[in-house]
Amino acid sequence: MPYQAPTADQLFVLKDVLGLETYANLPKFADAPMDLIEQIVEEGAKFCENVLAPLNKVGDTQGCKWLPDNTVTTPDGFKEAYKQLVETGFPALAADPAHGGQGLPGVINVAFSEASSSSNMAFSMFPGLTSGNYAAIASRGSDEQKATYCAKLASGEWSGTMNLTEPHCGTDLGLLRTKAVPRGDGTYRISGQKIWISAGEHDVSENIIHLVLARIEGAPPGVKGISLFIVPKYIPNADGSPGARNEGVKCAGLEHKMGIHGNPTCVMAYDDAIGYLIGEENGGLSIMFIMMNEARLWVGLQGLSQAEAAYQAAVTFAKERLQGRSLTGPKNPDGPADPIIVHPDVRRMLMESKATIEGMRALLYWTILQEDLAHVHPDEQARQKAGDLVGLMTPICKAYLTDKGFEIASLAMQVHGGSGFTEHFPASQYLRDSRITMIYEGTNGIQALDLVGRKLPAKGGRAAMALLAELNAVAADAGEDPAVAPYVDALNTARERLQDATGWLMQNAMANPDNAGAASTDFLRLVTLAGLCMVWTKAAKIAAARVAAGDSNPFYANKLATGRFFLERIAPEGALHLTRMKTGAAAMMALPAEAF
């Protein structure tokens, strides 16, 4: 069975776990009643299933092609699908009405974004990057820049890119060398080489708007001297149409890579390209972080999306493949063998996938809701709290969801057995495509450092305090239903471990900063597990109430059965992470470099 958007679980999260209807009195949310949300989720699902999913393998097999005239062609069907996407209006749902958008909360779009990325991750990177590009210009561009670019980017007619990395500088942006020289007319000449630029050149949109980090001549060294420039492929005409070719920017080649073949990863050569400063001189990094934080949540979503798609492929295979007999007696006595879904170890892989995916979905959607609340909530304290939670949970969602996206893609391959290793089945593509998500937009190790070194200590630990308060509130609100009690216990245990870990960090990171670095990945997992326990408790409360009320939809009893697997086999991982992090940096740093 080909991919089908998990609309039932998506709507359960939006409606029940997040309780979107309770925000109906807030700006933006007021325009998004539940029936509209349902309609968007369902229409979006159809588009993804019917238009994007059939192109996923085509994209992997054909890949993108670079031509000697520095143009890039996308796989068959991508151009047409992109045109259809723009026509649906989905990209503009959450954009500002001033830019032709619908002005709906961002969380409205998340189910569609997930399904879009599950259907075709490489394709969905075209609109995905554009969305971050739009956000940066919409929030920091001049009025003229907004007027020129925002509507085109919001609709998707034009697409966008982020240009950070150079051959010698990825994580460490302070090393970057791309130069910006004032032309005297307010514009700049941009020169330098950027690598790993997703969708840097292609044929799906009529213009490509590059956001490029560069150093203005004479700027201070390091990250304090970095500015951000808009470098359009075609200079926009006064009437808004794409004008003359910006000759100084071109794609010098494509990377050969393990996955996401349907999206071109470009080497971009800038040679006196015309660029427009966005925001302040030397203020580029803070604008880039607007894009970056948005992009990190979206990469987390990619992880979730590949997990879901791979899991679905594994389920299909496990139900169809006949091999061996159940340990408890034949389940398909008339067939030559039982479907392999009867075997406990196959179940283990499917249940681990399912329980992880459902928790991740709820946690990610919840985080994206906080992002909306941080913008639209009328109460300043509520906005601040939501903003703190988004900041804290962004590295969590990026790192955990992508680690698990890849792990679950690997489990899906394992369920397929030898078939999974062949390119005849989809498991290999999910495995290969998902792997990049652990790396780009800041490797998962960088996410852990961002959490421990930046998000945790910021403003006296305010974000962590907000999370702990939220965990307590959810526990207190869980009610007395004995079916929910084990979730509350797990939540309390996870919270205590997190407090313990935070205390350990405060004591030991000062004494030796390497202790913070050494602890970072385990600490990230402890925060994640607490977050997962939180969303599972919310979900269980609702599901248990429905079961108790005699709801005939098996969804709710199944949700509790899946939650039990989470409680029994995933939540206990926290003990190991706490044990590990408390061993500190000594063993990790003991060997001299030459001993490796």
Which of residues 516, 527, 533, 539 is near its own copies by CB under 8 A? 516
User: How many CB atoms sit inside 10 A of residue 80's CB?
Assistant: 12
522-541: contacts with its own copies (CB under 8 A): none
Name which of 51 and 176 has its Cβ closer to its own copies: 176
120-179: contacts with its own copies (CB under 8 A): 165, 168-172, 175
390-419: contacts with its own copies (CB under 8 A): 406, 410, 413-414, 417-418
**Nearest CA to 399 among 461, 442, 351, 432?**
442
R_g over Cα of the chain: 24
Which of residues 70, 142, 187, 323 is near its own copies by CB under 8 A? 323
169-208: contacts with its own copies (CB under 8 A): 169-172, 175, 195-196
Nearest-approach distance from CB 328 to its own copies, in angstroms: 6
549-588: contacts with its own copies (CB under 8 A): 554, 558, 561-562, 564-565, 568-569, 572-573, 575-576, 579-580, 583, 585-588
Asked whether 288 and 162 are in contact (CB, 8 A), the reply is yes
Indicate if 371 belongs to the active site. no
Nearest-approach distance from CB 443 to its own copies, in angstroms: 6
Question: In angstroms, rounded to a whole number, what is the distance separating the alpha carbons of residues 521 and 128?
Answer: 27
Question: In angstroms, rounded to a whole number, what is the distance separating the alpha carbons of residues 397 and 591?
Answer: 32
User: How many CB atoms sit inside 10 A of residue 517's CB?
Assistant: 18
- The dihedral built from the CA positions of residue 419, 423, 427 and 432, taken in this order, carries a sign that is positive
Pseudo-torsion of CA 135, 141, 145, 151, nearest 10°?
A: 20
Name which of 83 and 177 has its Cβ closer to its own copies: 177
235 binds its own copies (CB under 8 A): no
Count of chain residues binding its own copies (CB under 8 A): 96
Question: In angstroms, rounded to a whole number, what is the distance separating the alpha carbons of residues 303 and 219?
Answer: 38
DSSP states along 95-108: S-GGGT-----GGG
Which of residues 188, 229, 440, 536 is near its own copies by CB under 8 A? 440
Which of residues 357, 518, 534, 547 is near its own copies by CB under 8 A? 518
Nearest-approach distance from CB 414 to its own copies, in angstroms: 6
97 binds its own copies (CB under 8 A): no
Which of residues 131, 293, 428, 434 is near its own copies by CB under 8 A? 428
**Selected range binding its own copies among 107-115, 186-194, 345-353, 481-489, rule: CB under 8 A:** 345-353
351 binds its own copies (CB under 8 A): yes
Name which of 175 and 473 has its Cβ closer to its own copies: 175
Contacts of 24 (CB under 8 A, 6+ apart): 30, 33
45-64: contacts with its own copies (CB under 8 A): none
Name which of 380 and 594 has its Cβ closer to its own copies: 594
Both structure tokens of 490: 């797990």
**Selected range binding its own copies among 38-46, 249-257, 292-300, 470-478, rule: CB under 8 A:** 249-257
DSSP states along 352-413: HHHHHHHHHHHHHHHHHHHHHHHHH-SSHHHHHHHHHHHHHHHHHHHHHHHHHHHHHHHHHH
350 binds its own copies (CB under 8 A): yes
Helix (H, G, I), strand (E, B) or coil at 274: strand
Amino acid at 592: P
**Selected range binding its own copies among 111-119, 143-151, 332-340, 468-476, rule: CB under 8 A:** 332-340
Question: In angstroms, rounded to a whole number, what is the distance separating the alpha carbons of residues 235 and 145?
Answer: 12
DSSP states along 29-93: GGG--HHHHHHHHHHHHHHIIIIIGGGHHHHHHH--EE-TTS-EEPPTTHHHHHHHHHHHTGGGT
430 binds its own copies (CB under 8 A): no
Name which of 141 and 420 has its Cβ closer to its own copies: 420
**Selected range binding its own copies among 125-133, 347-355, 458-466, 545-553, rule: CB under 8 A:** 347-355
Which of residues 266, 373, 438, 501 is near its own copies by CB under 8 A? 438
**Selected range binding its own copies among 203-211, 299-307, 322-330, 477-485, rule: CB under 8 A:** 322-330
What φ, ψ does residue 192 adopt, rounded to 5°? 155, 180
256-315: contacts with its own copies (CB under 8 A): 256-259, 265, 315
Which of residues 73, 113, 370, 444 is near its own copies by CB under 8 A? 444
Asked whether 302 and 118 are in contact (CB, 8 A), the reply is no
User: How many CB atoms sit inside 10 A of residue 374's CB?
Assistant: 18
**Selected range binding its own copies among 29-37, 50-58, 387-395, 511-519, rule: CB under 8 A:** 511-519
Output DSSP code: residue 327. T
Name which of 8 and 34 has its Cβ closer to its own copies: 8
Nearest-approach distance from CB 31 to its own copies, in angstroms: 35
**Per the residue annotation, which of 294, 308, 358, 441 is the catalytic one?**
441
**Nearest CA to 190 among 151, 247, 137?**
247
Q: Which helix (H) or strand (E) holds 161?
A: strand 158-163
Nearest-approach distance from CB 586 to its own copies, in angstroms: 8
333 binds its own copies (CB under 8 A): no
Nearest-approach distance from CB 347 to its own copies, in angstroms: 5
Nearest-approach distance from CB 16 to its own copies, in angstroms: 18
Nearest-approach distance from CB 7 to its own copies, in angstroms: 16
Helix (H, G, I), strand (E, B) or coil at 535: helix
Catalytic residue list: 441
